[in-house]
Amino acid sequence: MVRSEFWLNQSLYTAAMQFLLNHPLLFCPVVVLFLFAGSLSGSWIHARRTDAIERNSSSFKTLEGAVLGLLALLLGFSFAMAVSRYDLRKQLEVEEANAIGTAWLRTGTLAEPPRRAEQQLFMQYVPVRLDFVAAGNDADAVQHSIAQSDELQTQIWAIASGDTAAHRDPVTALFVSSLNDMIDVTEKRTAALENRIPAMTWAMLLFMGFVSSALVGISVTSRSKLLLAILPLVVGVVLALILDLDSPRSGFIRVHQNSMTRVAEMVAASK
């Protein structure tokens, strides 16, 4: 019974954490309130243990500086992780657009009827790849887009394989090579969208933020709620920025599909 309750609580915690990590706009106010609760806790401790805190004020200052320094270090590393993931997603968007564009142009070197069949499939394939990113946090839509991509890739590859068996020449080999690059990059993009800062790292950042806010609340002699709210607000906004960079399917900072859109327009113009 105890074990089942533990796993239930663990599942609820994981679900709540994942929900917040998928909604950066909601994450910011929740985190600010959470950290502000830490500041209020520190203020409450200060009010009830004033004499003991004043006797050990130098020790508290040392501890406060060490914890704040560690928090700053963790925030810096987390920001670097989020930026590197964001840059990789931008790079792969351009890479996939180039791979599809190259494969599309090389369909023109094929003989009929494979050329027309491949071009028809490409006209279906490019919008599906755009839908893959546009699906957002809708897991069903994402899986549906992946399934459509796999199905169309199989059909495109089957036609190319048949044409290669009939025409073993350098032109056909180049087309097959471009198809291989196009198919490979789809998995790279999927993995890049799934590769995010681990939830445990976010839990550690929130814990460190709470402890830092509590220590500042203990050190601040003024009972002003505004002063107590400064650190939670600053840290909360920084954490929200990091999460926004790390959220490929939601938030303000998104990788725009400009290159993929231009490829879609090029393919559509050939109808």
Rounded to two decimals, the pTM is 0.85
Residues 6 or more apart whose Cβ sits within 8 Å of residue 252: 24, 244
Secondary-structure percent of the chain, ordered helix, strand, coil, rounded to 5: 85, 0, 15
Q: Tell me: the pLDDT tens digits for 119-173?
A: 999 999 999 999 998 887 788 888 999 999 999 999 999 988 887 767 777 778 8
Are 172 and 100 within 8 A, CB to CB? no
Query: Quick one: how far is CA 237 from the chain centroid?
Result: 17
- Please report, for the chain, how many H helices and E strands are present, in that order: 10, 0
DSSP category for residue 109 = T
Are 208 and 71 within 8 A, CB to CB? yes
* Sign of the torsion formed by the C-alpha atoms of 255, 258, 261 and 267: negative
Q: At what angle do helices 57-107 and 199-219 cross, to 10 degrees?
A: 150
Q: Tell me: the pLDDT tens digits for 190-206?
A: 999 889 998 889 999 99
* pLDDT over 60 at 1, yes or no: no
Q: Where are the domains of the chain?
A: 95-192+256-268
CA atoms of 39 and 239, how far apart (whole Å): 17
Residues 6 or more apart whose Cβ sits within 8 Å of residue 133: 193, 248, 249, 255, 257, 260
CA distances from 214 to 40, 118, 234 (A): 7, 63, 15
Q: Tell me: the pLDDT tens digits for 214-257?
A: 998 888 776 677 888 899 999 999 999 999 999 888 888 888 89
Confidence of residue 38 (pLDDT cuts 50, 70, 90): very high
